[in-house]
Structures are given as structure tokens and as C-alpha cells.
Structure 1
């Protein structure tokens, strides 16, 4: 995303006659609320005023940047107003302002808009840019001002050694952080010195200083308004510890007088472990549920995608090897063993031929991918990758909340939730298998009767519990004697958190296991009662609501569970995965098609960008639609939801199954239709596969056309009514 894309014509006003700071804030907040970019005007205004109360957002040079990160912001943007007459803003340079940028963000749209906001500081520092904005009479003038490239000239470091280094950080991590960085670079360059500045902003730590950078620097400036991370690097070094305001306006003087004024102090030695317990280590992290979940899912995806595609290769080889032809001897032995067991349990009665066929079909279907030796080699790799799905999900949710110490207990929570390894839970315990299961009632055959595997639901809950345990233990041991920090971090916290999460999961897995069991039974009920069409529609809709967000991920994870066996072994259960993947392909493909069918409804830049969506959509990468949705959320989302729902209806109605959790067109050969039966022979026939592939392509094509048509006609109508302006 480019910086100018965050500016919108409807919330950009030029030469307004406003007389006070309060009047400007009310004016811009009203604009954002009227245009539906903020869902709760009062809440957002309170957040703006709270930030103003912490420190002035008047940056100097006649510029004010009120800003807030708030979940009422629907669409990250920058509202702008230039004033006829400057007003007081309690600016850092004590001068009035006439250019005000109100930054509204929800901290949920990823790197794109954060990077653009960081770039804003580079523009605001340039006199020519300020002049262009003061002369702007319309939105096109504002947009044009951003077309000029801003290049920051620097002095090259000699032998990789920088003269001036520093860190900048402010509470919100958006404005002051990057303004201070830009000014320090400018001041150092003006003095003919090489410079490297680390920023600890909303995008995390960037341009990180190494220990070598610190050891070789002549000047070290720490400009911050919140606690810094990584202070262990500066122990015993001479530094100037100051504010971002001081760095912005007095940075040149700070560099020139380094070591000569009372501002130069010696940094205290700090343990690197203590750096982890910073101001970011707080209960606020627990409230960021969406961000934590998405962090876990993003780390989980490589295991699912790679494992799923390789598992799909195993399935393809098994099918190509001959429709499940197992050597006749093994076939006969298995049948004989099963028949003898049946006779013993049923007064020596011979099972009916239909019963034998059904049992053999279930056996073969349940072990599909293992009958051929080569297929089994690939399937083993795929299964190994996919079985890490829930443990990795839980581990990184916990890690996101409390850092490295949360990784181990989070991982264990996922293992116990999913029953991975079989040590704690097993359907038929014995020896090292099912050591926890034996503590609960078993049936006459020695099998468990209580569902105790809670899957991804238990993994997510367990991750939060693991993080809470680490949080409490870390704070409890914070004042530990320094000489015992190694024991604390390597022994005490890991051991106690492992015991704590294990006990917690032992208790929670029963109610959560029943929850997961209920989900399985619900899906089975839909399959048994020919309601898969409803299931397909729901999943297709969910995949298109937020395109990579939590609702999308819930639908996708549900689909992957059907592939891994987490939702049972019903032959039709993987309709769940087929519907999820088809729905996820619609947004990028629908946008790409719309740019071809309705060329006048898109800018040339959008049409060029949409070309990549053909490939992204074909390989099931829904995120290709996100850049378009950010700029036009209502039209893109609603049209995608319509297309996804229809696609899901067709997939569910045609009983199309998919045995791989990702890959798009790469795994189309694994598609099958259960319209003519669900036995192993019927599902693996050439007709079932051909029908499945053909109907699936039709479903995706129809959904894509529906989305493109709705989106295109909607945009065209709004262009005619003057509600939408296409500026090429």
C-alpha cells in the first residue's frame, strides 16, 4: 500500500475556517463517522483526546498529527484538513498549526498500512511537501504531492561502523517514532556523520542495532517515550537518554555535544532476560484475541500447506496404483480375521456379503494413501507435517502473548488437546499408550467412552492458559536475585508452567472434548441427512467475510481438521475442506474477472495489480483480495460473500470431497463427488473423480462470475451517481 492510498477525498478538506484545536478534532471525527470509517464516534474521539492528553501531537513546522489506534476504526485512513488561519496546538516548537493529519487505525490490517504511516514522517519533514499541501485546493493536488519521491541522503559507514546510532520509540509507535528517526538521520548527515537508527514502533523492531554497532559507535542517542527493549546491549556505554521531542528539535545539538553535557549518562547493565519483561509484557496482550489467533494460524499454515500437498501426492499415487488393490493374501487375511471376530461376537453367524463389503470399504477408505509402498512414503511425510497443526497453533498463540517462555507450555497444550503422540490419550490404552485415559471409565473392550481430545478448540484455550501461567510466574519471580536468573528461566518457569498446563488440560479436555465431539456429530448429522449443501454455503460465506481474518481462518481450520481425521472418518466429511477452499478462491478471482468485464470501474493501477490475482486465486491464496478490500471494503466484501455462498452451495449439494488442505488447482485431481455413492469403490472410481473435478470447476466459475457481476454493476452504478470517482 502506498501512503497516498490512506488519504480519501471524502475526509480531505482544504482551507477550512476552523478556529480551535477542539473544533478541528470534532470536525475530523465527524467526517470519519459520517463516511462510516469509524463505527463509534464517541469511543474514537475519546481515544484521540486521550492521546492528546499524553503529549502534544503538534510536530512543529505548522503540522499536527492527532492519532489513535482503536477497534472502532473500520478502515485505516488519514483524515486531512488545511486551515485558512493557523491555530494553537501546543506544538513542540510552540508555533501554531495549519496542516492537520488525523490518523485512524485499528492495528489489524497488517504491515501495509503501518509501513505507509511510517513513510508519512519522511514527507512531513520536507519543506517542499509542506508548501505543496498549503497550496493544495483539491484532493487531486494532495494526491499529486505524494508522487514526488522522498529520498533520505546518508553518509556511508566506514567498514560497517556507524558514527551515530540510536533508538526511537513512542507509546503508539506511529508518529513520533518515525519522525524522531528521520530527524536524527537528517541531523547526522548534515554533520557529515554515518548513522543507523533502530525503531521500536507499531511494526515491531526495525533496523535493529547489533552489539558491534553499539561497541563501535561514537554517539548513542536513546530517544523514547516508553520503555525500550534490548537495553542489555548498552550496559556501561555512554548514552544520551532523552525524549522523541528532544531528538526531533534538538537532535543536532545532542549529537554535537555528546559526552560534554549532563545529558550524557552511563547506561546501566541489564540482563537480556530482563529485557523480555518490558512494558509490552502486560495483560493488554491477552485482550488482542484476533491478533494472537492470526499469529498462531500464520505459523501453523506452512505445516498444513506443505504437509497437505505432500499427503495429496501420496493419495494420488495410491489411486494411480490401482484403486486400492492390496495384495490378495493380505486382503484374505484381513477378511478372515474380521469374519472370525464377527462370528465370535454373534453366536457363530456368518456376516452377510453386504456387511463384509461395507467393512472392507471402510477399512480401505480409512487407510487410503498407505496401500502402495511409494504412496505410503509420501503419506508419512504429509501426516507428520499435519499432525503438528494444533501444537504449533497453540505454541505461537502463547508465544505472541508472553514471548519465548510461552512457546513450550503452549506447544504442550496443543499436543495434549490433539492427543498427538498418544501418550496421554488413546482410544484403547495400554503400556505407554493412553496413560491418562486409564484414569477414566473404559467399556468392556477396554476402550475409552469419554471424548478427551479437544482439537483446535482446546489448543486455543490451552494457549491462553499457558500464557497466563508464564505471565504469573514471570512476574512472581521478577525480583529473584540476579545470580539465580538462570535457574529461574531455565528450570523454575519451564517446569512449573509445564506442570500447570498439563494439570489444566487434564481438567479442561473433558468439557472441551465434548464440545469438539458435538461439532463432529453436528457435521455428521448434516452429512447423514443430505444437508451438506447448507454446510457448504456456510463455509463458503465464512471464507469470504474477512479474507484471511479470524472468521476465514476458523472456516479453513475446520476444513483442515476434516482432512486430518479430526472430525471423524465419514467419507463425505471432507466436503468441509472442498467448500472452504472453493470459497477462499472466489475473492481474488472475482476481482480479477471484474477488472476485465468492467474496465471503466477500475483505475489502471488496480487493473494492473489485479492480474496477479488470477494466479493467487487459482492456488487458493485469498489474501490477494485484501489490498482491494482495504480501499473498498463494503463492495468487495459483500460481493465476495455472495459469490462464496453460491460456490459453497454447489460444492455441498454435489457432495464434492477433497483430501488435501491446500493447493488450489494443484490438488484438483483429488476431488471426488459422492453423488452416486460413498463406498470406497464408488468414491475412487474414474467417474466420481471426473464428476468431482468438473463440478468443482463449475462451482468456482459460477461463484467468480457472481462476485464479478455484483461488484462491477455496483461500482458502475455508484460512478454514475457520483458516489465513486475513478481517478486514473
Structure 2
């Protein structure tokens, strides 16, 4: 795509009589809307104004480039207006503007589109081009101006060695990056110097500087308004570290006075490892909570989506092969069970001896629970898929925690962050679990039998603690001699950070474990007093609070206890499991439905990711909602809690029971409704139908609340959707 193709005659106006910046923006937005190039002029205008509030788009030389990347743009284009009289635009050079280019894009044109926008910056730096536009009175004259591609001849590098090198980068990577590049090239050429400028813009890194380029350069200018990658190349070199604005307007002086003025500094020694971390090893990184969490989620997402879908396939295969209902309890299982539980089950709570029939009944219940607890593993084919899915899913929290820590402090944070996630989720059972020779080693040190896993919330907290430990150790060892850097980086920091995060997680998991234990006992009390409707609503609510975190886990464990008999032998008590599973299915399904009904409230990437939530929600994998909740915790959590509460309430009201601890739609045939005799066939049909109804209602409620909430905030300018 050529640059001139982005200009359209219907949105190009010449010698307009407009008196202010606001008037120009309103005028151009109205033009784009009237010509159907944007679908929603308010959304687009809000995006333009948001960009204006971040930094001036007055480039100097009488030029203004307001721009926005927004999915409301139907046809990427550049709206142009030249003015009769210049107006104030708060430009870099404090001069008024009379040439305004409004860039409207949704990025759908990809590389070619970005290339055309980058070329605009190069044209705008040419004085003859500016003059041609000021004289233009028709669209044809504008096209003629763009056809003039004459460029000043650059000075050739001698033996591949450049006199002037530099890097330019701005937050959006569209305008300032390429304007600064073009001006530095112009200034160097004017001074008779060879030049090479690397750009780190929206198209990625271009004209990348090699270490040889850096070593042989006479002048190095880093003009940027965001962190730049590859600072390790400049370690120990004299550089000018400045802004794109300074390079655009003072670049000639920067080149001429290099090494003489106060802006010339010596670059700090930066290792390649530090480059990977983003060249910003400071406490400021800890405050960038959203960015840190997003970095962790982006690495975690493949584990959640791929593992969850494959796990669901395992459940489905087991059910399809007739393994949804347990077979008759084999005699050898009963004999072995009786030997293990004797005399635990021989006496009832009053101390009276149980009858053989009662003992057999307990054994049968435990057999069913044991069988259904292994659902997805009974068939060899299902087990093959389940093993893959389980392996992928169980790495979710460690990957999340590891990469959050990595983002904050770089590669040194990956290992302790990953370990924090392992301890938070109890992965492997080595630290937490039933004590054995190689399991439950930390459990032995805890005086009370309580759950110690803190889920993905513990992983996130642990990631920050791990990063803080690494940061402290790095600062403490900063003055090590260079000859000892290998020992510091390979031995000391990893060793001490591992010990530090392990001690921290051991301490953090204790209060969280007691909290989980107390809430679990409260729910058990509700179940014992037959407050089933209230219990259902509470469990549905809890399953949606943190989607896989400690509160979610409490509700789920309570459901599992009901299946295993831990909450009593009343068949209706398994309503706890039914409510927990239904509530856990709502968040991923609600998000998926919302992306279909309220498409403009989501980015294209979010809409694509949400497609997997249909399958994950159907198989009771709540974690599919986590990536969305991390980026928008308030709206996602509250809307999910509303939907989950209603679903749980309906499950309680319909007295729906479930004898399996997992599986989603794969175990629907095991559902029963206590509104009729639980032993009748009607109980199954009624249970399945009402259960589906409960989930559908909760899903619609969540999607509706979330969609209207996001849409309202978008209109008010509180939320901007950028693709």
C-alpha cells in the first residue's frame, strides 16, 4: 500500500476556516462519520482526545497529526485539512499549525498499512512538500505532492562504518518514531556525515544496529519516549540519551556538539540478560501491576486453553465409552476397603455398632465416589488425553507466577517466581499433601490439618515477593567485582532467592490456609442445617470470585466433600457439588457469550481468545476466565458473581444433586432433582433440564451486565478498546 492511497478526496479539505484545535477535531471526525469510514464517531473521537491528552501531536513546522487506533474504524485512512489561518496546537516548537492529518486506523491492513503511515513522517519533514500542501487547493494537487519522491542523497558509509547512529522510539510507534528518524538522517546528511538510525516502532525493530555499527560510530543518539531494547550494545559507550522531540528540533546541535555538551553521558553496563527484562531494573516496575499481570497471563494462556480443551476431550471420551456410571462394586475392592477402614466405620456417631447392611452401604458410596473421582481415566484412550490436559493445566499457576516475576526483575526472577507458583498450587504434593516419604514434607510441620494451597492469587502475590527478593539481592551484590559476576548471577542470587521465596510462601500459605479452613467449616454448618438454597447461592457466588483462586477452591472442595460423604450421608447434600460446578461454568461461558452480543466492547484478540471458553466452560474449567479477569478484574468479577449467585440459587431451589466431582457436560447424566423421588427416572430428566436452565440464566445475566457495563464505560471515555 502506498501512502497516497490512504488519502480520500471526500475527507480532504483545503483552506478551511476553522478557529481552534477542538473545532478541527470535530470537523474531521464528522467528515469521517458522514463518509461511513468510522462506525461510531463518539468512540473514535474519544480515542483521538485520549491520545491528545497523553502528549501533543503538534509535530512542529505547522503540522498536526492527531491519530487513533480503534476498532470503530471501518476503512483505514488519513483525513486532511489545510487552514486559512494557523491555530494553536501546543506544538513541540510552540508554533501554530495549518496542516492537519488525522490518522484513522484499526491496524487491519497489517504491515503494508503501517509502512504507509511511517512514510507520512518522512514526507512531512520535507520543506518543499509542506509548501506544496499549503498551496494545494484540490485533491489532485495533494496527489501530485505525494508523487514527488525526491530524496536528498545520503553520505555513504566508509567500509560499512557509520559516523552517526541512533535509535528512535515513541509509545504509539506511528508518528514520532519515524519523524525523529527522518530528521536525524536529514541533519547528519546536511553535515556531510554517514548515518544509520534504528527504529523501534509499531512495525517492530527496523534497520537494527549491529555491535560493529555501535563500536565504530562517532556519534550515538538515543531518542526515545519509552524503554528501548538492546541497551547492552551501548555499555560503556558515550551516548546522548534524549527524547524524540529533542531529536526532531535540536538534532543538528546534538550531532555537532556530541561529546562536548552536558547531554553526552556514558551508558551504564547492561548485560544481555538485562536487555531481555526491558532495560528497566528499578522499583518502578513493581508499580506497573497491570502490565506485569498481563505479561504473566500471556505466557499462561496457552497452558490454560490447550490443557483445558484436551482435558475436556478426556472426560468426553470416558463418558462416550459408557464410563459415566460406575459398575457394581467388585468384591475385592470391598474387602480391601473394609480392611483399611476397620474399625473407623464399624461404630456410628453414637457409639453403636453398625449393621452389615449399613457397612455395605457406606462401602458402596465410597466405591462410587472413588470411581467418579477418577473420571476421565477409566478408558485407556481417555486417560491418554487426560494425562496431557492435566499436565498442561497443573503448570498454569507456576508459569503465571514465574513470568510476572520475570517481567519485573528479568531472568533472575523466573526461577523463584515459578517456585512461588508451585508452592501456591501445591504442585506435586512434595510440600503439601498426605505425609509420606516424599510427600507432604511441609504438611508435617503444620500443627493443624488445614488446606495450604492458595491458587493463582497466591501465585501472583508470591511472584511479587520473589521479584522483591531478587531486586534486594541484586542491589546488595551490586558492588561485586566483575570477575565475581558469574558466581553472583549463577550461584548466589538463584540460591538465596530460592530459599527466600520458599520461606516466604511457607509463611504466606499459613494464614491463607486458616482462612480457607474457617470458611469451609462455615459452609459445612449451612449444609448440616439444610439451608440448601442459601448454600447454593453462596457456593455459586464463591466459585466466581477468583476463578480458581482460594475462595473458588474452598467452594469446590466443599462440593467434593459432599460427594465423598464429608458433609453427611443425606443424598441431597450433593447439591453442594452441583451448585459449585454450575457456578464455576458461568464465568467462561458468560465471557464467551458477551463477546458475541457486545462485539464492540472487546478487542479482536479478546474475541478470538474467548472462543475457547465455550468448550472450557462446558467442561467446568473456570480458569478460562482468569486471563480476562486479570485485565479487567472489577467488571469481570462482579458480573460473574451476579450470574454465579443466580445460578447457584436456582440449583438450590431445584434441589439438584450431583455424584461426580468434575466433568461439566460429561457428567450431566448423573444429575438428579430432589423435587421428585431421587430414585426415579424422572429425577434424572428433571435434574438435567433444570440444571441447564440454571446455567443458561446465570450465563445470560453475567453477559448482559458485563456487556452493558463495558459499553457504558466506553461511551463515557473510561474504557478505550484498542486493537
Task: Give the shorter-chain TM-score range.
Answer: 0.5 to 0.7
Contact residue 432 and residue 441 of structure 2 kept, 8 A: yes
Q: Calculate the aligned-residue CA RMSD, in Å.
A: 6.7
Tell me how far 1:377 sits from its aligned partner. Answer: 2.3
Residue-by-residue CA offset, 1:387-444 (whole Å, 9 max, x unaligned): 1122112112212222211111111111111111222122x31212122221222xxx
Max Rg structure = 2
1:231-250 pair list within 5 angstroms = 231-234=231-234, 243-249=243-249
Mapped to 2, the partners of 1:577 and 1:701 lie a distance apart of: 11
Tell me how far 1:465 sits from its aligned partner. Answer: 0.7
Mapped to 2, the partners of 1:111 and 1:478 lie a distance apart of: 46
- Residue 529 of structure 2 corresponds to residue 529 of structure 1: no
Residue-by-residue CA offset, 1:467-486 (whole Å, 9 max, x unaligned): 11111112222232122111
Query: Residue 366 of structure 1 corresponds to which residue in structure 2?
Result: 373
Contact residue 583 and residue 695 of structure 2 kept, 8 A: no
Tell me how far 1:266 sits from its aligned partner. Answer: 9.3
Query: Residue 300 of structure 1 corresponds to which residue in structure 2?
Result: 300
Tell me how far 1:245 sits from its aligned partner. Answer: 3.5
Query: Residue 33 of structure 2 corresponds to which residue in structure 1?
Result: none
Mapped to 2, the partners of 1:133 and 1:641 lie a distance apart of: 53
Residue-by-residue CA offset, 1:463-505 (whole Å, 9 max, x unaligned): 1111111111122222321221111111111111111111111
1:63-212 pair list within 5 angstroms = 63=63, 86=86, 92-93=92-93, 95-97=95-97, 123=120, 126-127=123-124, 166-169=166-169, 176-181=176-181, 183-184=183-184, 197-199=198-200, 206-207=205-206, 209=208, 211=210
After alignment, is 482-491 or 148-157 more displaced? 148-157
Cα gap change, 1:478/1:452 in structure 2, threshold over 3 Å: closer, same or farther?
same
Mapped to 2, the partners of 1:388 and 1:126 lie a distance apart of: 51
1:281-430 pair list within 5 angstroms = 281-323=281-323, 331-345=330-344, 346=346, 349=354, 350=356, 351-426=358-433, 428-430=434-436
The equivalent position to 1:434 in structure 2, one of 424, 436, 440, is: 440
The equivalent position to 2:650 in structure 1, one of 623, 648, 653, is: 653
SS in 2 for 1:492: helix
Query: Residue 496 of structure 2 corresponds to which residue in structure 1?
Result: 496
Query: Residue 471 of structure 2 corresponds to which residue in structure 1?
Result: 471
Contact residue 672 and residue 688 of structure 2 kept, 8 A: no
TM-score (norm 2): 0.62
Cα gap change, 1:246/1:388 in structure 2, threshold over 3 Å: closer, same or farther?
same
- Residue 218 of structure 2 corresponds to residue 222 of structure 1: no
Q: Which has the higher contact order (CA 8 A, sep 6+)?
A: 2
Query: Residue 461 of structure 2 corresponds to which residue in structure 1?
Result: 461
Tell me how far 1:214 sits from its aligned partner. Answer: 3.8
Mapped to 2, the partners of 1:671 and 1:135 lie a distance apart of: 74
Cα gap change, 1:413/1:119 in structure 2, threshold over 3 Å: closer, same or farther?
farther
List runs of 5+ in structure 1 lacking aligned partners. Answer: 26-34, 69-79, 104-108, 442-447, 543-550, 596-601, 626-632, 719-728
Contact residue 15 and residue 81 of structure 1 kept, 8 A: no
Tell me how far 1:294 sits from its aligned partner. Answer: 2.9
After alignment, is 284-293 or 646-655 more displaced? 646-655
Aligned length: 607
